[in-house]
Structure 1
Amino acid sequence: MLLAIDAGNTNVVFALLDEGRIRARWRIATDPRRTADEYAVWLSQLLSLEGYDRSAVSGVIIATVVPRALHNLQVLSQKYFKTEALIAGQAGAEWGIHLDVEEPQNLGADRALNVIAAHARHPGDLIVIDFGTATTFDVVDYSGAYKGGIIAPGINLSLDALVTAAAKLPRIAISAPQTASVIGRNTVDQMHIGIYWGYVAMIEGLVARLKDEVGRPLKVIATGGLAILFEERTDVFDAIEPDLTIQGLAMLWERSR
């Protein structure tokens, strides 16, 4: 089985895959100080709860946008899974797509993997929206080339900034407002409306501008945990792929073989 590891700014996601299918998935808060031994204790218990042993893992592939987290994840693979991990975007696991941008070396691994997986699963020109620590919009042409995109603050990041900077505003859960009205009658409702409908307006507005600029039909693919939340109140998404980054890792692994 393959252990795919996606180390993001907020969480590290571990997924166990068998022939490209996700059999189990776990996440832990990203902390570059976390040692390989700490990962191993936590992961061994979770593998056991799912009925697996560490010996079931025959390969490891890692993607990270947190460089300081990489070393301990590599040690985890070497010490506890007895294998050298492939690193997404590096020797043996190159992207294999054309990065048609000014600074291709600065493209985040998660975004490159999203592009690879989205293009493999959806033909034609695409916009891939990832709701993570940042909300990113990536444009992919019909050949699979990455053409560029947009980086906006993630919804949790925006909410944290608002609550931190405004002493009297309470911390709220991110959820769809209970009514369709955009006139809030109390502070909490007004915050829900601002955060939720503000993001819907941003998504719809940026997608419209991207479509106008490209000038060809574009299918919109959403990924990330909050994509389903926004699907309830907008028809801008053509498909939701919650595991796009992990699927991209699995595809890179298969190419490497």
Structure 2
Amino acid sequence: MWLAIDIGNTHQHWGWFERGELVLAADYSHSYWDERVFERAQEIVVASVVPDRLERWRFYRKVRVLDLDDLSLRGSYETLGVDRALNLLGAGYRYGFPVLVVDFGTAITLTAADPLGQFVGGCIMPGFHMQFQALHSHTARLPEVQLPEQLPPPMAHDTAQAIQSGVVKLTLAGLEQYLIAWRLSQPKGKVIATGGDSALVYRWVPHLFDVHDAQVSLWGIYATAHR
């Protein structure tokens, strides 16, 4: 077995592969560390959008650290986040190109590739929790809220629900317009939802996506390491 690790802004995403199959995936806090993993894994491949998180991994013989230069993504630019590139490569490996990946993480990112697998662009906006935190931090009386389990109504009757409705409804409305435009340009393309909040969003609005796959970044590491 070998291990793929995607270290994000909020947590570590680990995936164990065996014979080309992802057999186990788990999320851990940044403080999590298990020396026994070096005994069990034949190889460990690590990538991170936060460079400082990689330092401890570079000293181990079994560990290979991936940077953007290691990824076979044509058309990318120097400051493209390795997480976005891995999402795109993993989605293309699993579902084919053209593809657009919507990552609902600390930030919400959209990243697209054309039928030849070449990066064609995307966009970045604050994630749901970042928007909630900004409203709480930069106002005198607005409370900090969390994502609701149910899609909030457009017309709320209390402050907390009004914040949830504003952030969620307007974010999803903008996303839908973006996806409509992309589907018109790539009628055969797929839209993949991933990231920490993606399961909830997919439950709310499944019609916006073709697939929900929380593991595409791990598959991007796998595809890169075994291309």
1:221 aligned residue (170, 192, 212)? 192
Task: Please tell me whether the aligned partners of residues 88 and 252 of structure 1 are also in contact (alpha carbons under 8 angstroms).
Answer: no
Task: Please tell me whether the aligned partners of residues 5 and 15 of structure 2 are also in contact (alpha carbons under 8 angstroms).
Answer: yes
Corresponding position of 1:89: 68
Runs of 5+ unmatched residues, structure 1: 48-52
Counterpart code for 2:122:
G
Q: Pairwise mapping of residues 67-86 of structure 1 onto structure 2 (< 5 A)?
A: 67-75=51-59, 78=60, 82-86=61-65
The structural deviation recorded for 1:171 is 2.0
1:43 aligned residue (22, 34, 43)? 34
Identity %: 27
Task: Please tell me whether the aligned partners of residues 2 and 17 of structure 1 are also in contact (alpha carbons under 8 angstroms).
Answer: yes
CA-based RMSD of the aligned residues comes to 2.2
Aligned equivalents of 2:214 and 2:82: distance in 1? 17
Runs of 5+ unmatched residues, structure 2: none
Corresponding position of 1:55: 39
2:212 aligned residue (230, 240, 243)? 240
The structural deviation recorded for 1:14 is 2.4
Counterpart code for 2:199:
I
Cα distance per residue 1:57-96 (max 9 Å; x no partner)? 1101111111112111223xx1xxx424242434xxx222
Matched positions, count: 226
CA pair 205-105 structure 1, distance change in 2 beyond 3 A: same
Task: Please tell me whether the aligned partners of residues 136 and 150 of structure 1 are also in contact (alpha carbons under 8 angstroms).
Answer: yes
Aligned partner of residue 204 in structure 2, secondary structure: coil
Cα distance per residue 1:180-234 (max 9 Å; x no partner)? x31111112212211221221121122123334x364432111112122122332
> Taking structure 1 as the reference length, what is the TM-score of the superposition?
0.79
Aligned partner of residue 208 in structure 2, secondary structure: coil
Kindly name which structure, 1 or 2, has the bigger radius of gyration based on alpha carbons.
1
Task: Please tell me whether the aligned partners of residues 117 and 244 of structure 1 are also in contact (alpha carbons under 8 angstroms).
Answer: yes
CA pair 219-178 structure 1, distance change in 2 beyond 3 A: closer
Q: Pairwise mapping of residues 160-179 of structure 1 onto structure 2 (< 5 A)?
A: 160-177=133-150
> Taking structure 2 as the reference length, what is the TM-score of the superposition?
0.89
Task: Please tell me whether the aligned partners of residues 175 and 192 of structure 1 are also in contact (alpha carbons under 8 angstroms).
Answer: yes
Which range is displaced more, 197-206 or 136-145? 197-206
Alignment partner of 1:156 is 2:99: no
